[in-house]
Protein backbone atom coordinates (compact mmCIF):
# COMPACT_ATOMS: atom_id res chain seq x y z
CA UNK A 1 0.00 0.00 0.00
CA UNK A 2 1.48 3.31 -1.06
CA UNK A 3 0.33 6.86 -0.67
CA UNK A 4 1.41 9.58 -3.09
CA UNK A 5 0.41 13.23 -2.62
CA UNK A 6 0.54 15.77 -5.44
CA UNK A 7 1.61 19.28 -4.34
CA UNK A 8 2.91 22.44 -5.98
CA UNK A 9 3.43 25.38 -3.64
CA UNK A 10 2.20 27.86 -6.24
CA UNK A 11 -1.37 27.33 -7.41
CA UNK A 12 -2.34 26.66 -11.01
CA UNK A 13 0.68 24.62 -12.01
CA UNK A 14 -1.44 21.61 -12.98
CA UNK A 15 -1.83 19.49 -9.83
CA UNK A 16 -5.40 18.44 -10.55
CA UNK A 17 -4.94 17.87 -14.29
CA UNK A 18 -1.98 15.60 -13.54
CA UNK A 19 -3.73 13.85 -10.67
CA UNK A 20 -6.66 12.99 -12.94
CA UNK A 21 -4.30 11.69 -15.61
CA UNK A 22 -2.44 9.57 -13.03
CA UNK A 23 -5.77 8.21 -11.76
CA UNK A 24 -6.64 7.22 -15.32
CA UNK A 25 -3.22 5.70 -15.99
CA UNK A 26 -3.29 3.80 -12.69
CA UNK A 27 -6.20 1.96 -14.23
CA UNK A 28 -9.59 0.63 -13.37
CA UNK A 29 -8.48 -2.40 -11.39
CA UNK A 30 -10.55 -1.24 -8.43
CA UNK A 31 -7.69 -1.43 -5.94
CA UNK A 32 -6.86 2.27 -5.85
CA UNK A 33 -8.47 5.06 -3.88
CA UNK A 34 -8.42 8.71 -4.87
CA UNK A 35 -8.58 11.76 -2.60
CA UNK A 36 -9.09 15.43 -3.37
CA UNK A 37 -7.35 17.18 -0.47
CA UNK A 38 -7.85 20.68 -1.89
CA UNK A 39 -11.12 21.21 -0.05
CA UNK A 40 -11.11 24.99 -0.65
CA UNK A 41 -11.15 24.50 -4.39
CA UNK A 42 -12.13 20.89 -4.94
CA UNK A 43 -11.85 20.36 -8.67
CA UNK A 44 -10.74 16.78 -9.20
CA UNK A 45 -14.38 15.69 -9.23
CA UNK A 46 -14.87 17.70 -12.42
CA UNK A 47 -12.46 15.43 -14.33
CA UNK A 48 -13.47 12.01 -13.00
CA UNK A 49 -17.17 11.80 -13.91
CA UNK A 50 -17.67 10.94 -10.26
CA UNK A 51 -20.99 9.57 -9.05
CA UNK A 52 -21.63 10.54 -5.44
CA UNK A 53 -22.62 7.57 -3.30
CA UNK A 54 -22.64 9.17 0.15
CA UNK A 55 -22.90 12.79 1.30
CA UNK A 56 -22.28 13.65 4.96
CA UNK A 57 -21.94 16.91 6.85
CA UNK A 58 -18.55 17.73 8.33
CA UNK A 59 -18.68 19.43 11.71
CA UNK A 60 -15.71 21.68 12.13
CA UNK A 61 -14.84 24.27 14.71
CA UNK A 62 -17.19 25.96 17.13
CA UNK A 63 -18.49 29.47 17.58
CA UNK A 64 -19.30 31.20 20.85
CA UNK A 65 -22.94 32.17 21.39
CA UNK A 66 -23.90 34.71 24.07
CA UNK A 67 -27.27 34.27 25.75
CA UNK A 68 -28.41 37.90 25.69
CA UNK A 69 -31.15 37.32 28.26
CA UNK A 70 -28.58 36.51 30.95
CA UNK A 71 -25.70 38.78 29.85
CA UNK A 72 -24.83 41.40 32.49
CA UNK A 73 -22.84 43.46 30.01
CA UNK A 74 -19.61 43.28 32.03
CA UNK A 75 -17.42 43.03 28.92
CA UNK A 76 -15.15 40.24 30.18
CA UNK A 77 -15.68 38.29 26.95
CA UNK A 78 -14.40 41.18 24.88
CA UNK A 79 -11.40 41.61 27.17
CA UNK A 80 -10.27 37.99 26.94
CA UNK A 81 -10.89 37.51 23.19
CA UNK A 82 -7.64 37.65 21.23
CA UNK A 83 -9.36 37.33 17.87
CA UNK A 84 -11.29 40.63 17.98
CA UNK A 85 -14.47 38.62 17.60
CA UNK A 86 -16.58 40.35 20.27
CA UNK A 87 -18.12 43.75 19.58
CA UNK A 88 -20.67 45.91 21.37
CA UNK A 89 -23.68 47.28 19.59
CA UNK A 90 -26.39 49.19 21.50
CA UNK A 91 -25.06 47.73 24.73
CA UNK A 92 -25.31 44.16 23.45
CA UNK A 93 -22.19 42.01 23.26
CA UNK A 94 -22.08 40.14 19.97
CA UNK A 95 -19.76 37.46 18.56
CA UNK A 96 -18.66 37.68 14.93
CA UNK A 97 -18.83 34.02 13.85
CA UNK A 98 -16.29 34.57 11.06
CA UNK A 99 -13.68 36.03 13.42
CA UNK A 100 -14.42 33.64 16.32
CA UNK A 101 -11.75 30.95 16.64
CA UNK A 102 -13.85 28.70 18.88
CA UNK A 103 -11.17 28.83 21.58
CA UNK A 104 -13.74 29.09 24.39
CA UNK A 105 -11.67 31.62 26.36
CA UNK A 106 -14.84 33.72 26.75
CA UNK A 107 -16.91 30.67 27.70
CA UNK A 108 -14.69 29.97 30.71
CA UNK A 109 -14.09 33.61 31.58
CA UNK A 110 -17.72 34.79 31.61
CA UNK A 111 -18.68 35.34 35.28
CA UNK A 112 -22.39 34.76 34.49
CA UNK A 113 -21.72 31.61 32.46
CA UNK A 114 -23.92 32.89 29.66
CA UNK A 115 -21.69 31.81 26.76
CA UNK A 116 -21.77 28.41 25.10
CA UNK A 117 -19.95 26.92 22.15
CA UNK A 118 -21.95 25.74 19.21
CA UNK A 119 -20.50 23.32 16.65
CA UNK A 120 -20.52 24.73 13.15
CA UNK A 121 -20.97 22.77 9.98
CA UNK A 122 -17.72 23.46 8.15
CA UNK A 123 -18.48 21.49 5.03
CA UNK A 124 -19.61 18.26 3.46
CA UNK A 125 -17.69 15.16 2.55
CA UNK A 126 -18.44 12.58 -0.08
CA UNK A 127 -17.61 9.10 -1.25
CA UNK A 128 -18.01 8.74 -5.00
CA UNK A 129 -17.57 5.97 -7.50
CA UNK A 130 -15.35 6.63 -10.48
CA UNK A 131 -13.96 4.49 -13.28
CA UNK A 132 -10.59 4.62 -11.50
CA UNK A 133 -11.50 3.65 -7.97
CA UNK A 134 -13.35 4.93 -4.96
CA UNK A 135 -13.01 8.68 -4.57
CA UNK A 136 -13.02 10.62 -1.28
CA UNK A 137 -13.62 14.32 -1.49
CA UNK A 138 -15.14 17.24 0.33
CA UNK A 139 -16.41 20.73 0.04
CA UNK A 140 -15.49 23.30 2.64
CA UNK A 141 -18.20 25.90 3.14
CA UNK A 142 -16.88 29.32 2.12
CA UNK A 143 -15.14 31.34 4.86
CA UNK A 144 -14.82 28.31 7.18
CA UNK A 145 -11.77 27.23 9.09
CA UNK A 146 -10.43 23.77 9.79
CA UNK A 147 -9.66 22.85 6.21
CA UNK A 148 -6.68 20.93 7.64
CA UNK A 149 -9.00 18.90 9.84
CA UNK A 150 -11.33 18.18 6.92
CA UNK A 151 -8.35 17.03 4.85
CA UNK A 152 -7.16 14.80 7.69
CA UNK A 153 -10.68 13.41 8.06
CA UNK A 154 -11.23 12.42 4.43
CA UNK A 155 -7.73 11.00 4.20
CA UNK A 156 -8.49 8.82 7.21
CA UNK A 157 -11.68 7.55 5.52
CA UNK A 158 -9.74 6.82 2.36
CA UNK A 159 -6.99 5.04 4.30
CA UNK A 160 -9.52 2.81 6.04
CA UNK A 161 -11.17 1.93 2.73
CA UNK A 162 -7.82 1.15 1.15
CA UNK A 163 -6.91 -1.16 4.03
CA UNK A 164 -10.26 -2.88 3.92
CA UNK A 165 -9.99 -3.66 0.22
CA UNK A 166 -6.27 -4.47 0.62
CA UNK A 167 -5.63 -1.93 -2.11
CA UNK A 168 -2.42 -0.80 -3.74
CA UNK A 169 -2.41 2.93 -4.04
CA UNK A 170 -3.85 6.06 -2.53
CA UNK A 171 -3.49 9.03 -4.86
CA UNK A 172 -4.03 12.43 -3.25
CA UNK A 173 -4.54 15.68 -5.14
CA UNK A 174 -3.19 18.24 -2.68
CA UNK A 175 -3.83 21.92 -1.99
CA UNK A 176 -1.53 24.80 -2.95
CA UNK A 177 0.67 26.54 -0.37
CA UNK A 178 2.59 25.02 2.53
CA UNK A 179 0.31 25.61 5.53
CA UNK A 180 -2.21 23.61 7.51
CA UNK A 181 -4.12 21.77 4.73
CA UNK A 182 -0.82 20.92 3.01
CA UNK A 183 0.64 19.53 6.23
CA UNK A 184 -2.53 17.46 6.71
CA UNK A 185 -2.22 16.23 3.14
CA UNK A 186 1.44 15.25 3.63
CA UNK A 187 0.72 13.38 6.87
CA UNK A 188 1.03 9.66 6.22
CA UNK A 189 2.34 10.08 2.66
CA UNK A 190 5.05 7.80 1.35
CA UNK A 191 6.11 10.46 -1.10
CA UNK A 192 5.05 13.85 -2.42
CA UNK A 193 5.14 14.60 -6.12
CA UNK A 194 5.60 18.31 -6.72
CA UNK A 195 4.24 19.72 -9.96
CA UNK A 196 6.10 22.93 -10.64
CA UNK A 197 6.40 25.37 -13.52
CA UNK A 198 9.39 27.34 -14.80
CA UNK A 199 8.38 30.78 -13.60
CA UNK A 200 10.07 32.82 -10.89
CA UNK A 201 6.98 32.34 -8.72
CA UNK A 202 6.81 28.61 -9.45
CA UNK A 203 10.47 28.13 -8.56
CA UNK A 204 10.25 30.23 -5.38
CA UNK A 205 7.27 28.22 -4.15
CA UNK A 206 8.83 24.90 -5.20
CA UNK A 207 11.68 25.62 -2.80
CA UNK A 208 9.18 26.31 -0.01
CA UNK A 209 7.23 23.11 -0.55
CA UNK A 210 10.49 21.12 -0.79
CA UNK A 211 11.48 22.65 2.55
CA UNK A 212 8.13 21.65 4.03
CA UNK A 213 8.44 18.05 2.81
CA UNK A 214 11.99 17.89 4.18
CA UNK A 215 10.79 19.29 7.53
CA UNK A 216 8.42 16.34 7.88
CA UNK A 217 10.97 13.93 6.39
CA UNK A 218 8.74 12.89 3.51
CA UNK A 219 10.62 12.15 0.28
CA UNK A 220 9.82 14.44 -2.64
CA UNK A 221 9.90 14.01 -6.40
CA UNK A 222 9.47 16.78 -8.94
CA UNK A 223 8.04 17.14 -12.42
CA UNK A 224 7.97 20.33 -14.48
CA UNK A 225 4.79 21.41 -16.25
CA UNK A 226 4.81 24.03 -19.07
CA UNK A 227 8.53 23.23 -19.18
CA UNK A 228 9.26 25.17 -22.38
CA UNK A 229 7.56 28.40 -21.25
CA UNK A 230 10.81 29.80 -19.84
CA UNK A 231 13.86 27.71 -20.59
CA UNK A 232 16.21 29.38 -18.11
CA UNK A 233 13.59 28.78 -15.43
CA UNK A 234 13.42 25.08 -16.29
CA UNK A 235 17.20 24.96 -16.11
CA UNK A 236 17.06 26.50 -12.65
CA UNK A 237 14.60 23.81 -11.50
CA UNK A 238 16.89 21.07 -12.83
CA UNK A 239 19.75 22.65 -10.83
CA UNK A 240 17.65 22.84 -7.65
CA UNK A 241 16.74 19.17 -7.98
CA UNK A 242 20.35 18.21 -8.55
CA UNK A 243 21.66 20.20 -5.58
CA UNK A 244 18.96 18.91 -3.25
CA UNK A 245 19.20 15.38 -4.67
CA UNK A 246 15.53 15.36 -5.59
CA UNK A 247 14.54 13.02 -8.42
CA UNK A 248 13.22 14.96 -11.43
CA UNK A 249 10.77 12.54 -13.02
CA UNK A 250 10.03 14.37 -16.22
CA UNK A 251 8.86 17.45 -18.03
CA UNK A 252 5.61 18.32 -19.76
CA UNK A 253 5.53 20.89 -22.55
CA UNK A 254 3.21 23.89 -22.58
CA UNK A 255 0.21 22.22 -24.20
CA UNK A 256 -3.32 23.61 -24.52
CA UNK A 257 -4.64 20.06 -24.74
CA UNK A 258 -4.58 20.08 -20.93
CA UNK A 259 -7.14 22.92 -20.50
CA UNK A 260 -9.15 21.45 -23.39
CA UNK A 261 -9.38 18.15 -21.53
CA UNK A 262 -10.47 20.12 -18.46
CA UNK A 263 -13.26 21.75 -20.49
CA UNK A 264 -14.29 18.29 -21.70
CA UNK A 265 -14.25 17.05 -18.09
CA UNK A 266 -11.80 14.22 -18.73
CA UNK A 267 -8.25 13.27 -17.78
CA UNK A 268 -6.00 14.49 -20.59
CA UNK A 269 -4.62 10.98 -21.11
CA UNK A 270 -8.15 9.79 -21.88
CA UNK A 271 -9.18 12.88 -23.84
CA UNK A 272 -6.16 12.96 -26.15
CA UNK A 273 -3.95 9.93 -25.49
CA UNK A 274 -1.63 10.71 -28.42
CA UNK A 275 -1.04 14.35 -27.53
CA UNK A 276 2.45 15.43 -26.52
CA UNK A 277 1.30 16.19 -22.98
CA UNK A 278 -0.29 12.75 -22.57
CA UNK A 279 2.84 10.95 -23.74
CA UNK A 280 4.99 12.99 -21.38
CA UNK A 281 2.62 12.35 -18.46
CA UNK A 282 2.61 8.64 -19.31
CA UNK A 283 6.42 8.59 -19.14
CA UNK A 284 6.32 10.29 -15.73
CA UNK A 285 3.71 7.83 -14.48
CA UNK A 286 5.88 4.87 -15.49
CA UNK A 287 8.76 6.32 -13.49
CA UNK A 288 6.48 6.84 -10.51
CA UNK A 289 5.44 3.19 -10.57
CA UNK A 290 9.04 2.02 -10.72
CA UNK A 291 10.14 4.32 -7.93
CA UNK A 292 7.16 3.56 -5.66
CA UNK A 293 8.40 0.00 -5.39
CA UNK A 294 11.77 1.18 -4.09
CA UNK A 295 10.31 3.31 -1.31
CA UNK A 296 10.60 2.43 2.34
CA UNK A 297 7.24 1.37 3.71
CA UNK A 298 5.70 3.74 6.26
CA UNK A 299 4.85 7.42 5.92
CA UNK A 300 5.17 9.88 8.79
CA UNK A 301 2.00 10.68 10.72
CA UNK A 302 1.85 14.34 11.62
CA UNK A 303 -0.52 15.31 14.38
CA UNK A 304 -2.47 18.52 13.78
Partner 1 sequence: MIIAVASGKGGTGKTTIAVSLAQFLADQGEFPVLISDADVEAPNAHLFLKPKFSDKADVNQYVPQIAEDLCSGCGICADVCQFNAIVMLKDKPKVFPSLCHGCGSCTLQCPEGAIAEIPRTIGRLDRGLSADGLLLRQGLLNEGEPMAVPVIAALKKWKWQTDRIPGVEIVDSPPGASCPVVEALRGADYVLLVTEPTPFGLHDLKQAFQVTRELGLQVGVIINRVGVGEEDIRGFCQANGVPVLMEIPLERKIGEGLARGKGLLEIDPVYRSRFADLWQAVQSAGKAVAT
Q: In the complex, which residues of this chain contact partner 1 (CB under 8 A)? A: 8-13, 16, 39-41, 43, 46, 62, 80, 82-83, 98-99, 101-105, 108-109, 117, 140, 142-148, 175-183, 197-202, 204-205, 208, 211-212, 214-216, 226, 229-230, 233, 254, 256, 259-260, 262-263, 265, 303-304
Nearest Cα neighbor of 101 from 113, 117, 112 is: 117
- Considering the complex, state which of residue 212 and residue 269 has its C-beta at the smaller distance from partner 1: 212
State which residue, 135 or 169, has the beta carbon closest to partner 1. Answer: 135
Q: Judging by DSSP bridges, how do beta strands 169-173 and 191-196 pair with one another?
A: unpaired
Q: How far apart are CA 108 and CA 79, in angstroms?
A: 13
Do 23 and 171 contact (CB within 8 A), yes or no? yes
Cβ of residue 155: shortest distance to partner 1, in angstroms? 15
101 or 168: CB nearest partner 1: 101
Q: How many residues does the chain have?
A: 304
C-alpha atoms less than 13 angstroms from C-alpha of 237 in its C-beta half-sphere: 35
Between 8 and 114, CB nearer to partner 1 = 8
Please list, residue by residue across 277-302, b when 16 or more beta carbons sit within 10 angstroms of its beta carbon and e when fewer do. Answer: bbebbeebbeebeebbeeeeeebeeb
Which of 130, 127, 126 has its CA nearest to residue 22? Answer: 130
CB of 216 to partner 1, least distance (A): 7
Q: Are 121 and 22 in contact (CB under 8 A)?
A: no
Q: Which lies closer to partner 1 via its Cβ, residue 122 or residue 191? A: 122
Q: Name the minimum Å distance from CB 238 to partner 1.
A: 15
What is the smallest separation between the CB atom of 170 and partner 1, expressed in angstroms? 22
Least Cβ distance, residue 118 to partner 1 (angstroms): 13
Provide, rounded to whole angstroms, the least separation between the CB of residue 132 and partner 1. 18
Looking at residue 228, what DSSP letter applies? T
* C-beta closer to partner 1: residue 75 or 265: 265
Q: Which is nearer to partner 1, 168 or 207 (CB)?
A: 207
Largest CA distance in the chain: 72
N-term to C-term CA, the chain: 23
Question: How far is Cα 115 from Cα 5, in angstroms, rounded to an integer?
Answer: 41
The set of residues, in sequence order, having a beta carbon less than 8 Å from that of 237 and lying 6+ positions away, is 196, 198, 202, 203, 206, 222, 224, 248
CB of 257 to partner 1, least distance (A): 12
Amino acid sequence: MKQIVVLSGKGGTGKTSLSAAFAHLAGSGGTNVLVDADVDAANLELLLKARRVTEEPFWGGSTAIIDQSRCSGCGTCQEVCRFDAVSVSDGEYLVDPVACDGCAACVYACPEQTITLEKQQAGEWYISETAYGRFFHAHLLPAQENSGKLVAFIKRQAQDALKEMDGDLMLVDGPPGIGCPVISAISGADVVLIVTEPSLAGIHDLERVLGTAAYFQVPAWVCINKADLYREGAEQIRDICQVREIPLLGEISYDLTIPRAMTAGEPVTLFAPDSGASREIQAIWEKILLKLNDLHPAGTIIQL
